[in-house]
Amino acid sequence: MKPNSFGWYGWAMMGLILMLPASSSGQDSASEAAFSAAVANLKSGSMKERGLAIEQLAGVHNPRAIVILQALLDGRLFKLIADDKLVIGEEVDAGYKLFDAKNAESLGTVDRSATQKIYVTNNLRTSLRKIIGRLELNDNDAGVRLAAVKAMGKAVDDESLMLLQKHLSVEQDKSVQKAIKRILGLEQLNSADKTTRLAAIELLKGQANQNVVNRFNELVDKDAEGHYLEADSDVRNQIKTALVKINTQLQVYAAIETLFFGLSLGAVLVLAAIGLAITFGVMGVINMAHGELMMLGAYTTYVTQQLMPDHLGLSLVVAIPAAFIISALAGIVIERGIIRFLYGRPLETLLATFGVSLFLQQTVRSIFSPLNRSVATPEWMSGSLQINDFLSLTWNRFYILVFCLLVFALLLQILKRTRLGLEVRAVAQNRTMAKAMGIQTARVDALTFGLGSGIAGIAGVALSQITNVGPNLGQAYIVDSFMVVVFGGVGNLWGTLVAGFSLGIANKLLEPYAGAVLAKILVLVFIILFIQKRPRGLFPQRGRAVEG
């Protein structure tokens, strides 16, 4: 079925010839033929031919063209192996739900193996975006038009400029107008007329846009022979003043970004450490299996996602209580089965829980295989909140930050306002006295440990969104967790919060200068020195309870 190149070019030529009368007189049959030919060519073997077919398809005025091109860009365009028909597929459980590419006729559902995907490369993706942009310039939705203009701005050519110029006169929406003016303004910077250039600078200087900054920087720079790209010194000075202003802005954005990175890393640290703050901080148990309890939470997320594959977002919400229950139960079993026999013997506890951690890891390896499991991220958690070209906050980190604060607040309320919290605090302060007051300390121990473990499980849900879900997930976080708890002061939840955030920010401040490896080492060294000075951490517990 692979047409030879001569034959193909023949088709392309014919398509072009056919297009001319089609566009002027609106002849249906000729346009239809060109459309069919272009669609057929999309299936052809080489990427070069496919690229030409895309251009060709964009040339025919057919409402289906844009649908097909979009499907191609999204990787939803397939060829049926049986009859070589081009189809658009939607992923469903049993395989693909198919529609005829040419007329949207439903073709039922087929197995994955019955189809062959029409692949595209990066080059084709870029040109697809541009072409779709051109076609979408007349869309009714202003958001679509804005995206279209932006896509066209990425690879400007004469045709796009002409289209944009024409479109500007009919465009009503302010933001689309602005985007078009920017692209045209960037082009005017190359104008031979000085006043046009100055006007373009005036228009562009207030805009926080990467292309503008790049172009400005280029213009005030010298080329290989030592000539300024912008020959006129007046214009150059204008650009320079504009750049100074932009650069101060950029510094502010960079600072905000670093702060956000630090807070989000801190949120992860706090989430990982907060469960430990309860088991280690309040109960004094060195639980080396803490990381593995997080891992259980992450695997629970994976399993819930497998159970409800069509509701990604909902499965994540369901995973939170599920992970809490599973990790809490695991924690209670560990406490009742092992740790309660070892109270007051920290070394043995350490060894025993280390054994438990290895046991849990290997169990997960046997059940889920040693391979990492992929946990999908729901749509609302991927991508970023684009404030402008220089500042964007990633959604997943943002949600985790919010989630961390929620968990912290909730935990604080549990410890402060519930009966369990009261008992936990009583036992932590003075076990003998609490026992004398009629508190069943054994039961409280189990529940406290369960609570700490459950929180670890919840942390696992959050971690599944930013890191790998695999048997080694826990190990990566156990050192960090202990670090945060010790730094914050054993037995103090607020200390954990402050410690987590400050370590996160410190890490992110150091990273650009020292690199990721060294930054982490520096933070560790700092903590070692700090602990020398203040062995009880940032917020030490005071009073008689400490001695108990």
Partner 1 sequence: MNRLSSRPRKLGIAGILVTLTLVTGMASAEDTIKVGVLHSLSGTMAISETTLKDTMLMLIDEQNKKGGLLGKKLEAVVVDPASNWPLFAEKARELLTKDKVAAIFGCWTSVSRKSVLPVIEELNGLLFYPVQYEGEESSRNVFYTGAAPNQQAIPAVDYLMNDLKVKRWVLAGTDYVYPRTTNKILEAYLKSKKVAKKDIMINYTPFGHSDWQSIVADIKKFGSTAKKTAVVSTINGDANIPFYKELGNQGISAEKIPVIAFSVGEEELSGMDTKPLVGHLAAWNYFMSIDTTKNAAFIKQWHDFIKNPKRVTNDPMEAHYIGFNMWVKAVEKAGTTDPDAVQKAIIGVDFPNLTGGTAKMLPNHHISKPVFIGEIQDDGQLLTVWQTNTLVEGDAWSDFLPESKAIIADWTAPISCGNFNTKTKKCSGQNF
3-state SS track over 529-548: HHHHHCCCCCCCCCCHHHHC
Nearest approach in angstroms of CB 353 to partner 1 is 20
If the CB atoms of residues 52 and 283 are measured against partner 1, the closer one turns out to be: 52
Q: Is 380 in the site for partner 1 (CB under 8 A)?
A: no
Nearer to partner 1, 441 or 467 (CB): 467
Among 265, 319, 428, 505, binds partner 1 (CB under 8 A): 265
Extended strands (E) in 382-531: 384-388, 391-394
Binding mask 216-245 for partner 1 (x = CB under 8 A): -xx---------------------------
Interface with partner 1 by CB under 8 A: which range of 4-12, 373-381, 411-419, 534-542?
373-381
Give the nearer residue to partner 1 in terms of CB position, either 376 or 538: 376
Closer by beta carbon to partner 1, 426 or else 466:
466
Query: Which one, of 276, 283, 539, 537, lies nearest residue 429 by Cα?
Result: 283
- Taking alpha carbons only, the member of 54, 76, 73 closest to residue 65 is 54
The per-residue b/e assignment along 154-186, b for 16 or more CB within 10 angstroms, e otherwise, is eebeeebeebbeebeeebeeeebebbbbbbbbb
- Count of residues touching partner 1 (by CB under 8 A): 53
CA–CA gap between residue 457 and residue 453 (Å, rounded): 6
Binding of partner 1 by 264 (CB under 8 A): yes
* Residue 196: CB minimum distance to partner 1, A: 21
Scored b (16 or more CB within 10 A) or e, 422-448 reads ebbbbbbbebeebeeeebeeeebbbbb
Phi, psi of 365 (to 5 degrees): -60, -40
Shortest Cβ 126–partner 1 spacing (Å): 5
Nearer to partner 1, 102 or 290 (CB): 290
List the structure tokens of 6: 């001569």
Both tokens of 85, joined, read 């028909």
C-alpha radius of gyration, the chain, whole number:
31
Q: Contacts with partner 1 in 468-527 (CB under 8 A)?
A: 468, 470, 472, 476, 508, 511-512, 515-517, 520
Can residue 529 be called a binding residue for partner 1 (CB under 8 A)? no
Q: According to CB under 8 A, which one of 249, 372, 429, 430 is a site residue for partner 1?
A: 372
Amino acid 212 reads V
Q: What is the binding site for partner 1 (CB under 8 A)? A: 47, 75, 117, 119, 121-122, 125-126, 129, 210, 213-215, 217-218, 257-258, 261, 264-265, 268, 362, 365, 370-377, 382-384, 386, 392, 394-397, 466-468, 470, 472, 476, 508, 511-512, 515-517, 520
